[in-house]
Chain A
Amino acid sequence: MSLLDVRDLSVVFQRRGERPFTAVDKVSFSVEPGQTVGLVGESGCGKSVTSLAIMGLLPKRGNKVTGEVLFEGTDLLKLRPDDMRDRRGREISMIFQDPLSSLNPVIPIGVQVAEVLERHQGRDRKQALRESRDLLDAVGIPDPQRRLSEYPHQISGGMRQRALIAIALACKPRLLIADEPTTALDVTIQAQILTLLKQLVDETGTALVMITHDLGVVAGLCDTVNVLYGGKVVERARRHELFAHARHPYTHGLLNSVPRLDSPRGERLHAIRGSVSDNIPWAEGCAFAPRCDNVVDACLEGPPPLEPTASGGDLRCNNPVSEEVAVR
């Protein structure tokens, strides 16, 4: 049994007087214990909404979540709020993009870490703080004893993200969802945080869902990668497979449009034309069709199905990039 099995998850936002907007459209993927799975896509593709839906963190009103989120066989979407609260932070936890806005500015860092241990493991404050110090030490925060009594504004961005990781890992969860954990950080700090995440995941056997727009981050970290476009998974493949032979024209275009540090200079970038605002609704065809170079008539007749490929992945495309065409 998979650790996490997301089946046909859809999130529809509905505001009075407006047309409903489908942010996540029948997304399915699964995560095995100890595995790292990537959700990749550009802004508006539904990657963050997917993670919030899994965690049960979407607002109560104005949206409709359907499908199943099976965590070790239990459907998280059907749990009572109290039961979900028991699991959140203990079995599944999350790291957000901006550490400054996800930490409470008026509570010392030590207390924010200790809080999790008190809530879920029944420790008293003194014991919890002692463990918090060890946790801060484990995520590489220098002089952890003093950091305990400091406030988020007193430490740097990288250190804040480390503190957030300490909070997320405090109860040794079996699943960690990281939503753009390094986007707000500088590259050298990003490298520190990614190395730390990789090491902690290896040590504790925690499964990791990595949500990012940066293909470079995925390349170094994830076992399986799901590429999202317009709320649907358009391609799923093992890491090496995806980067060597991206089959979906969107993935292929994305890989070819990023300037790379190790590619020869002076080449023109192959831009994907148009922008996300050109998308057509999935009901009318492939959302990517207006921007796609490989478009065929079938693309405008209805949504292409997600079909398994020979190499063990899945692909949603009528006319994929041929397997011989390697990226670059």
Chain B
Amino acid sequence: MTEETGPLIELRDVKVHFPIKSGLLFDRTVGYVYAVDGVSLSIRKGETYGLVGESGCGKSTLGRGLLRLVEPTDGEIIFDGTDVRALKGEAMRQSRRRMQMIFQDPLSSLDPRQSVESLLVEGLKAHGLAGDKAETNRRLRETLEAVGLPASALGKYPHEFSGGQRQRIGIARALVLNPDLIVADEPVSALDVSIQAQVLNLLEDLQNERGLTYLIIAHDLAVVRHIADTVGVMYLGGLVEEASSDDLYREPMHPYTRALMSAVPVPDPVVEDRRERILLAGDLPSPTNPPSGCRFHTRCPWAQPTRCADERPELRDVVGGHRVACHFAEDIAAGRIRPHEVEVELVRPTDGTGPVDPPGELIPTP
């Protein structure tokens, strides 16, 4: 990994809230989905930052908000010294060349009616980089070679490739503009295991060759541990823990991270038979109506009667750059607080977004 100093991108208290509209005539806002609710983080040049969390925790929205593919509600996004949120029109469009994205599903993110050449040239044209034909051609071939595709791929269409190759096209499309930052949203989760490794290795090689900075968003902790230098764990719109990959996996400090890590199956029966799982009770609460105080207190086996329910913990530095958003991180680490049983609270997919259906009368009460 190339280690350079100074952050390439810095997020300060970024929020992305989606209004929930209701009503026929008037677009009344009846509430908000607090998808991302106050996230601060910074990524150094040449670093890989891994963002993990379960579905609905806001990790994808944060990635998209960072590129302003969805407009953040509040906060600052400072990319290489300029506030991206203050940029307008042409200036914003220009800056997009330096920040590119790789999407999860290569088939739905590539236009089926565009050839690979046309897919790759599109970005170059948009940024006025496709003037010289010979130069463009050289650039395309170079990029394809970098992602491990033959030059003959240029004339083909996405459906002619396998899943892994399609993801390589997606990477090539981001790469051809020579960006500084690549946001990869679940880059390998749609691929088979044997192909995942190829794409992960490719991402690492490209970083070493070109000094790229990555923000990798994934739900698979093992993937993130493998590729990221720093890992941030998200829960319900907020970062709950952030540390270097090694520190985080050696000693997870936030109760949620602990539960998450203990839940990941390891392909080794010896490890599997011995390990103790921290089973979380219930489901992720609805982001429209997040719990008060610490968002995790409703499912936390270590939750305490004081503070947890009424004071939202700040992400604070606990030991040497290991940041944790938990009031009792030290006590839990030292074993002064024991885990306890948690009553399952029922979570409905419709929570807070509409009227709750009255229970049917179909069922006789015994």
Residues of A that sit less than 8 Å from B by CB:
42-43, 108, 110-111, 126, 129-130, 133, 140, 142-143, 145-146, 148-151, 153-159, 186-192, 194-195, 213-220, 239-240, 243-244, 253-255, 257-262, 265, 268-273, 275-277
Contacts and interface: CB of A to CB of B under 8 A. Distances in A.
A258 B197 contact: yes
Given A254-B193, A270-B197, A272-B194, A261 B266 contact: yes
B347 A219 contact: no
A191 B163 contact: no
Interface in B140-191: 162-165
Interface of B: 54-55, 162-165, 192-198, 200-201, 204, 219, 221-223, 225-227, 245-246, 249, 259-273, 277, 279-280, 282-284, 344-350, 357, 359-366
Nearest to B356: A154
Given A254-B194, A259-B226, A188 B259 contact: yes
Contacts of B165: 275
Contact of B219 (A159, A186, A192, A217): A186
17 contacts: A130-B366, A142-B344, A149-B359, A153-B350, A156-B283, A156-B348, A187-B221, A191-B280, A192-B279, A195-B277, A220-B273, A243-B270, A254-B193, A258-B197, A259-B225, A261-B266, A262-B266
A265 B263 CA distance: 20
Contacts of B273: 220
Contacts of A213: 192-193
B267 A255 contact: yes
Given A108-B362, A216-B264, A240-B270, 9 more contacts: A154-B357, A243-B269, A257-B193, A261-B261, A262-B266, A269-B200, A270-B197, A271-B194, A275-B192
A273 to B, nearest CB: 8
B201 A108 contact: no
Given A159-B283, A187-B263, A149 B221 contact: no
Given A219-B272, A258-B222, A276 B54 contact: no
Contact of A154 (B282, B349, B365): B349
A151 B349 CA distance: 12
A258 B266 CA distance: 10
Contacts of B245: 265
A265 B349 contact: no
B260 A216 contact: no
A119 to B, nearest CB: 18
A133 B204 CA distance: 52
Contacts of A195: 277, 279
B249 A261 contact: yes
Contacts of A261: 221-222, 225, 249, 261, 264, 266
B197 A269 contact: yes
Given A269-B197, A269-B201, A154 B163 contact: no
A239 B194 CA distance: 20
B270 to A, nearest CB: 7
Contact of B201 (A154, A157, A268): A268
Nearest to A195: B279
B266 A260 contact: yes
A275 B195 contact: yes
A30 B293 CA distance: 53
Contacts of B55: 186
Contacts of A216: 264-267, 272
B194 A257 contact: yes
A258 B265 contact: no
B11 to A, nearest CB: 24
B345 to A, nearest CB: 8
Given A156-B283, A191-B263, A259 B192 contact: no
A233 to B, nearest CB: 18
A215 B192 contact: no
Contacts of A111: 362
A268 B204 contact: yes
A250 to B, nearest CB: 8
A26 B219 CA distance: 37
A216 B267 CA distance: 4
A258 to B, nearest CB: 6
A129 B363 contact: yes
Contacts of A186: 54-55, 219, 284
B363 A272 contact: no
Contacts of B348: 154-156
Nearest to B273: A220
Contacts of A110: 362-363
